[in-house]
């Protein structure tokens, strides 16, 4: 395979000049530049990433870390991030923190250490729930590798976070239900170790309080952000003598579960029950009735995170104040919500 010295010989210049041309460095005459480019073309030369990495200590690689890739949420963000990487000539690597690792702090620490020392990525994107784990941020940061966390989190360090304002979003979703006349609004929580759950719940509570609607603890169900727990929550609520007229689930998968629970009981959505989700994930518009939900610009979250890491995004690294970038959310009204029926 052709290497730099071959190109140099072919073009009649030194390898350093070839290097300069390839890296768009100044101080090379245009005529030489052309000659080198032609030689590169003629030999089909492509620089070795390994050698470049070793010498320059930069890998041009962004590493995306998540817990499990099996979710539309992670998938969409990854897509946005990868697209942004490729546009800028960066590669993208992915890793998962398997359930076993996350539990034992020592294992997790070793894993992170290995990740950053071996791979030396130019930046790390932490997906929820890894974005909520302080020691991950800490170890990676200590190694001098910039991080962007995705999604709401309470870690306050020099690293950036890219997210939507989950609390405000949940609040406006709840207010939308209130405006439709709903008063008995149930809420399905997500995983307790993710700050998104708490933020969304806080938004829900805030909306109720703002509209003088008493908080009824029986209208809160636990959840794990998955279909099954949504189904269970729906079954629970719909078994009440006086069931809620609307359910707000902390994500779409759980909302789908509530919807199926309603279908099974022959309860009409949205006539007898309004359902609202969160994320606007892929399934939201494939359900029937199509799900009203809060749209997170997932792809944009991914590409914004990448931009923060690679630069050229207008963020100065010396920025002292807020290191959290909020992207706009949007309430997508579809057919799963409607005015409260007379009872």
Distance of closest approach, residue 201 Cβ to its own copies, in angstroms: 23
Number of residues that bind DNA (CB under 7 A): 29
Terminal CA-CA length for the chain: 77
Q: Which of 223, 213, 205 is nearest to 184 (CA)?
A: 213
Q: Is 27 in the site for DNA (CB under 7 A)?
A: yes
Q: Is 22 in the site for DNA (CB under 7 A)?
A: yes
By CB under 7 A, which span of 21-29, 146-154, 199-207, 228-236 interacts with DNA? 21-29
Please choose which of its own copies, DNA, none residue 168 contacts, taking the beta carbon within 5 to 8 angstroms, the exact cut-off set by kind.
none
Distance of closest approach, residue 6 Cβ to DNA, in angstroms: 8
Q: Is 89 in the site for DNA (CB under 7 A)?
A: no
Q: Are 112 and 123 in contact (CB under 8 A)?
A: no
Complete DSSP assignment for 21-76: HHTT-SS--HHHHHHHHHHHHHHT----HHHHHHHHS---EEEEEES-S-SHHHHH
Q: Residue 113 or 216: which CB sits closer to its own copies? A: 113
Q: Are 325 and 308 in contact (CB under 8 A)?
A: yes
Distance of closest approach, residue 84 Cβ to DNA, in angstroms: 22
Q: Is 288 in the site for its own copies (CB under 8 A)?
A: yes
Q: Report the C-alpha gap between 72 and 285 in whole angstroms.
A: 13
Window 29-68: contact mask with DNA (x via CB under 7 A): x--x------------x-xx-xxx-xxxx-----------
Name residues contacting its own copies, limited to 69-88 (CB under 8 A): 69-70, 72, 75-76, 78-79, 82-83, 86
Q: Are strands 292-295 and 330-332 parallel, antiparallel or unpaired?
A: antiparallel
Q: Report the C-alpha gap between 77 and 303 in whole angstroms.
A: 8
Burial of 299 (0-12, 13-18, 19+ CB in 10 A): middle
Number of residues that bind its own copies (CB under 8 A): 52
Name residues contacting its own copies, limited to 146-175 (CB under 8 A): none
Q: Residue 1 or 212: which CB sits closer to its own copies? A: 1
Q: Report the C-alpha gap between 251 and 265 in whole angstroms.
A: 22
Complete DSSP assignment for 213-261: PPP-GGGEE---SSHHHHHHHHHHHHTSSS--SEEEESSHHHHHHHHHH
- Residue 100 DSSP SS3: helix
Q: Residue 48 or 218: which CB sits closer to DNA? A: 48
Residues within the interface to its own copies (CB under 8 A): 1, 44, 46-51, 53-54, 59, 61, 68-70, 72, 75-76, 78-79, 82-83, 86, 91-96, 98, 113-114, 117-120, 227, 253, 256-257, 259-260, 263-264, 282-283, 285-290
Residues within the interface to DNA (CB under 7 A): 1, 3-5, 12-17, 19-20, 22-23, 26-29, 32, 45, 47-48, 50-52, 54-57
């Amino acid at each position: 395979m052709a290497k730099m010295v071959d190109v140099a010989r072919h073009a009649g210049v030194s390898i350093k000049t070839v290097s300069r041309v390839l890296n768009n460095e100044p101080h090379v005459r245009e005529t030489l530049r052309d000659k080198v480019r032609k030689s590169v073309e003629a030999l089909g030369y492509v620089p070795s990433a390994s050698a470049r990495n070793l010498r320059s200590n930069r890998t041009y690689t962004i590493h995306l870390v998540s817990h499990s890739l099996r979710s539309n949420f992670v998938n969409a963000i990854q897509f946005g991030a990868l697209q942004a990487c490729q546009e800028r000539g960066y590669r993208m690597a992915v890793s998962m923190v398997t359930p076993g690792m996350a539990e034992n702090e020592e294992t997790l620490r070793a894993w992170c250490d290995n990740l950053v020392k071996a791979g030396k990525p130019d930046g790390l994107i932490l997906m929820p729930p890894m974005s909520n784990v302080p020691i991950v941020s800490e170890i990676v940061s200590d190694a001098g590798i910039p991080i962007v966390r995705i999604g709401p989190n309470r870690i306050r360090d020099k690293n950036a976070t890219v997210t939507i304002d989950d609390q405000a979003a949940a609040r406006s979703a709840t207010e939308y239900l209130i405006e439709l006349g709903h008063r008995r609004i149930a809420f399905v929580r997500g995983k307790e170790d993710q700050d998104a759950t708490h933020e969304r719940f806080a938004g829900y509570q805030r909306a109720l309080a703002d509209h003088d609607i008493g908080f009824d603890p029986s209208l809160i169900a636990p959840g794990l952000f998955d279909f099954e727990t949504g189904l269970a929550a729906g079954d629970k609520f719909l078994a009440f003598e006086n069931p809620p007229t609307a359910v707000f689930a902390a994500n779409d998968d759980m909302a789908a579960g509530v919807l199926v629970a309603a279908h099974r009981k022959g309860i009409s959505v949205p006539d007898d029950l309004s359902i609202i989700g969160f994320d606007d994930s892929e399934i939201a518009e494939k359900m029937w009735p199509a799900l009203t939900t809060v749209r997170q610009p997932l792809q944009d979250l991914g590409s914004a995170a990448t931009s923060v890491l690679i630069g050229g995004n207008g963020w100065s690294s010396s920025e002292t104040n807020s290191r959290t970038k909020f992207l706009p959310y949007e309430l997508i009204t579809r057919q799963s919500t409607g005015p409260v029926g007379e009872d």
